[in-house]
Amino acid sequence: MASGDRQRTWFPEMVEVLRADWRPEMSWAEIIALRDQLDDMLKGIRKLRNLQPVTTSTLCPCCNEPMVQGARGVSVRATILALNRFGIVPANEVKFLEKTWNKHRRETGINLNGKPPHNRAVHATAKGGA
């Protein structure tokens, strides 16, 4: 295992997919689908290489049960910022994308990954709570 791989988010094979699949005319649904694909790749890489993230234990704010927080996944914003980081899209276009993403999130109420917000009532019900 290379030094730092436990905290790493962008592996070379993920950058290749981002570079190959990115198109300037992508809709938010397509960008979110690309984010999903990259996040799944990251999880697969971590599992395949047995990369256990550095973890901290805390209690879930919804159900107060222990939960482990490890290395983060790939958010839509991380996907957008990676476009410039890896030289796929110029900085001014990334800045515009980031602004429009924030506006889209505010208008739709979706989370950082492009999904509906976490519903605490559903979470508590799933855990056998109220």
| pLDDT score, position 119 | 63
Q: What is the pLDDT of residues 17-43, one digit of tens each?
A: 999 999 999 999 999 999 999 999 999
Domain boundaries, the chain: 12-126
Q: Write a three-state SS string for the chain.
A: CCCCCCCCCCCHHHHHHHHHHCCCCCCHHHHHHHHHHHHHHHHHHHHHCCCCCCCEEEECCCCCCEEEECCCCCCHHHHHHHHHHCCCCCHHHHHHHHHHHHHHHHHHCCCCCCCCCCCHHHHHHHCCCC
pTM over 0.85: no
67-121: per-residue pLDDT in tens?
A: 666 667 899 999 999 999 999 999 999 999 999 999 999 999 999 999 998 765 4
